[in-house]
Amino acid sequence: MKPNYTRRCLLLVLPFAFCALNSYSLPQSQVLSSDDHASYVLFDVPNAFSTNVVGINNSGEVTGYFRDSPQGAQRGFVREPNGDITVFEGIPAAINDPGDVAGFLFDTAGIHSFLRNSQGNITVFDVPQPSPTISPISFAMAIDNRGDIAGFIIPCIGCDTWVGFVRHRQGDITTFAPIVHGSVPTGINERGDIVGVTSPFYSGREGFVRDRKGLMTVFDVANSPIAAYPVGINNRGDITGYFYDLQSNATRGFLRDSKGNITVFDGMPAAINDADEIVGDNFLRDNKGNVTIFTVPNSSGTHAVSVNNRGDVAGYFLDATTGKTRGFVRIANP
């Protein structure tokens, strides 16, 4: 299935430019060694009740969000490799190598996407809705090193058919019509390939990849309620994600290479790097299929969410002593 589903939209950029709220210069975060031949850097946003990580770039910068109280609003942060943390309004979804962050934020007018550049300047933008009476609802989900952003909009209240978009670095926005009830991007690579899932709320969810020219290819791993749910794509065009295996009655992972060949393995992936290393929850799978299971020391739950090209893994965990959710970076062979 390779129809072209692109159309041009008018750019709506809100002229907001938020500065960072706070910047903290911190001593070196706690570093622990473990029995899996790695070191763990543990950190919190200062005064945070919980700290959640969503991504790490090749420079070691980490982004995520936090709450300063159980009922507090979620706010974003960027942590530098030296431990300095800057917090800002909005919920990050991804970070690129220059340090630009894409995500979304809420206000009384709706849900807006944003781009925060490496200097801390934030541009908030809306994707045009089919009806001018609908409040804007858009979620930026991924960003590449050029600054192109992929995400999706919800075109109607209570609507399950979501529409994907790509915002190019110049600011122009292209939406792509839904296929099989929806097109929800989850990743973008340097070639402009966008990966995602077709129908997050319908049975028979499938994966798709859309190239920079707008050509969309839908693919499955199995005939099941979740046939394929891609979560990331690397610069080689290799895709990872998960599916529901009816035979084993379990959620399993897959690696789909750029030619469409699929390898299935145990685990639920969250991210992939250019070396085809895949992470998810508490595992790291190398490009030969070897799996390392790891746990952050003194934790009661470890969730890896991102891996960079150096093999550094970032995520969050529940601290068994304090009961707080904290961030971590796992550094292999330091």
Distance CA 12, CA 172 (A): 9
* Separate counts of helices (H) and strands (E) for the chain: 0, 32
Question: Which residues, at least 6 apart from 125, have a Cβ–Cβ distance to it below 8 Å?
Answer: 11, 12, 13, 14, 112, 113, 114, 115, 138, 167, 171, 173
pLDDT in tens, 276-291: 999 999 999 999 999 9
Q: Which two tokens stand for residue 91?
A: 């919920």
pLDDT at 11 over 80: no
Distance CA 50, CA 280 (A): 20
Q: What is the average pLDDT across 255-261?
A: 97
pLDDT at 243 over 90: yes
Distance of CA 103 to the CA centre of its chain: 9
pLDDT in tens, 126-183: 998 777 667 889 999 999 999 999 999 988 777 777 899 999 999 999 999 767 778 9
The DSSP annotation for 253-281 comes to EEEE-TTS-EEEEES---EE-TT--EEEB
- Contact by Cβ (8 Å): 254, 264: yes
pLDDT of 15 reads 33
Q: What is the dihedral of CA 168, 169, 170, 174, to 10 degrees?
A: 10
DSSP at 99:
-
pLDDT at 119 over 80: yes
Question: Which residues, at least 6 apart from 15, have a Cβ–Cβ distance to it below 8 Å?
Answer: none
Q: What is the mean pLDDT of the chain?
A: 87
Q: What is the average pLDDT across 94-119?
A: 96
pLDDT of 32 reads 56
CATH superfamily of 6-18+89-233+235-272: TolB, C-terminal domain (2.120.10.30)
Q: What is the average pLDDT across 205-231?
A: 93
DSSP at 180:
T
Distance CA 70, CA 332 (A): 33
pLDDT in tens, 24-64: 544 446 665 555 678 999 999 999 999 999 999 999 999 99
pLDDT of 223 reads 86
Distance CA 102, CA 63 (A): 10
pLDDT at 300 over 90: no
pLDDT of 22 reads 57
pLDDT in tens, 191-207: 999 999 997 666 678 99
Distance CA 95, CA 112 (A): 17
Report the amino acid identity of residue 279.
V
pLDDT at 5 over 80: no
pLDDT at 213 over 70: yes
Range with the poorest average pLDDT among 35-39, 65-69, 102-106, 184-188: 35-39
End-to-end Cα distance, the chain: 46
Strand order of the β-sheet with 291-293 is 271-272, 278-280, 283-285, 291-293
Domain ranges of the chain: 6-18+89-233+235-272
pLDDT at 114 over 90: yes
